Amino acid sequence: MQIRGTTHRYRVLVDGGLLQEVGTYARKHLGRETCAIISDSNVASLFASRVKQSLNSAGFRQTLITIPAGEKSKTLKEAGTICDQMIAAGLDRQSFVVGLGGGMIGDVSGFVAGIYHRGIPHVQIPTTLLAMVDSSIGGKTAVDTRAGKNLIGAFHQPSLVIDDLDVLKTLPRRQFNQGFAEIIKHAVIADAKMFRTLKVAHASGLRRASGTHALQSLIKRNIEIKSRIVAKDEWDRTGQRALLNFGHTVGHAIERAGDYRKFLHGEAVSLGIAAACAISVKRAGLPADQHDAIVDLLARLGLPTRLPRNFSRKRILDAVKFDKKFEGGKIRFVVTPHIGAAYLSNKVTIDDIREAVCAL
C-alpha cells in the first residue's frame, strides 16, 4: 500500500513472513547504512534477533536499544536516554530508526527519530494489532508527562511501515483483542459497512486466521480509513483529523486515572467509546439502537464497556481536564450522529462527560 500525505509518501507492507525481509525493504527504501532498533524488553526477546539478522544480511550496521515494557517508559527522560545511546553508538544524521514493538514503542521511537539530529527516517514495525491499524500510521509521535498522555510530541511521518501478520500469533488474547477498539472506532466514524461485517465476525476466529486474507484485508481497510482522514488534515489544524479521537478524550483520562496499569490502551478507548456513544445520544441524536449495537460489539470482541465499581470516577474527571483536545478551556468532543459518521462538537459540556463517566 502507498500512503500519500501532503508532503510525504511511504509504503505500508501487510503480509506474513516480513521480519525476515526487513533488511531487503530497508535497503530498497532507505539510502542509509546505520540504524538503531528501538524495542521493549518483551518484544526484543521475541523478534529482535530476526530483525537484526535481516538488517545485517542487507549490509546495515545496527544497534539494538531495549527499554522496559509498558507505558511508564514513554517519557522525555527515556527518549533522552535513547538519544544518548545512539550518540554513543556513533549514529548520525545519515542513520535511521527502526521501531519494533507496539504503540508505546512506535510513539517513542518516532519521537526520537523526529528530534535526533533534527529528524532522521523512521521505520515502523508494529507488533500488535492496535499499532498496525492505528498508531503506526499518520506520523503522530509523543511521550507522556505527569499531567497527561502524549502532551510532548512532534509530527514525523514514517518512511516505511512493515506489518508482519505472523507476529500477531504470539499475542496474548487480551493484547490481541484491544486492537478491535480502534477498528470499531474507525467503523463508527467512517465505515458503516465494516461495522456490519464486524458484527458477524468474532475475535477468536480472526485470531486463528492471523495469517489469512480476512485479517490482512481488515488491517488494510483500517489503514485506508486512517490515512484518508490524516491526508485531509495532516497537521491536525482543521478538525478533520480530530475525528480519530472518538472515544479518546475519556479513554486517555481512564488510562491516566488507572496509572497506565489498570487498562490497556485499547481497553480504555473501548470504555471511552461507550461514554462517547452515550454523549452522542444526547448531543448528536445517535439512535438508541445504534448506541446499543456499538456497545454490544465492543463487548462481543472482548473489550470492557463498564468500569469496576471501585474505580474512581473522580480521578477520571480530574484527568479529563488535562486532555490536549481542550483548547482555550473549551471542550472539543467527537460525537457520532449515526454509525459511519462523526463530527467535532463544541456543545458537549463537562457535565455531559461527568454523567457519561459515572454511568460506565
CATH classification at residue 40: 3.40.50.1970
Q: Specify whether 145 is located in the same domain as 255.
A: no
For residues 81, 86, 87 and 93, what is the CA-based torsion angle, rounded to 10 degrees? -130
- Please identify, among 123, 145, 170, the residue that sits at the C-terminal boundary of a domain: 170
Q: Specify whether 202 is located in the same domain as 233.
A: yes
Q: Specify whether 224 is located in the same domain as 310.
A: yes
Q: Does the pLDDT of residue 211 top 90, yes or no?
A: no
Q: Specify whether 165 is located in the same domain as 229.
A: no
pLDDT in tens, 113-155: 999 999 999 999 999 999 999 999 999 999 999 888 899 999 9
- Determine how β-strand 343-345 pairs with β-strand 333-335: antiparallel
Within 10 angstroms of residue 15's Cβ, the number of other Cβ atoms is: 13
Under the banding of pLDDT at 50, 70 and 90, the label for residue 36 is very high
* Segment 156-166 mean pLDDT: 97
The residue segments making up the domain with residue 124 are 2-170
Q: Specify whether 97 is located in the same domain as 208.
A: no
Helices (H), 263-328: 265-283, 288-300, 313-320
Q: Would you state the cell numbers that stand for residue 233, as one nine-digit string?
A: 488534515
Sign of the CA dihedral running 299, 301, 304, 305: negative
Q: Specify whether 139 is located in the same domain as 191.
A: no
Cα–chain center distance at 182:
8
Q: Specify whether 19 is located in the same domain as 155.
A: yes
The pLDDT, as a whole number, for residue 326 is 66
How many structural domains are present in the chain?
2
Percent of the chain with pLDDT over 70: 96
- Please identify, among 118, 147, 170, the residue that sits at the C-terminal boundary of a domain: 170
- Please identify, among 152, 170, 188, the residue that sits at the C-terminal boundary of a domain: 170
pTM recorded for the entire structure: 0.93
The pLDDT, as a whole number, for residue 327 is 63
Q: Specify whether 190 is located in the same domain as 149.
A: no
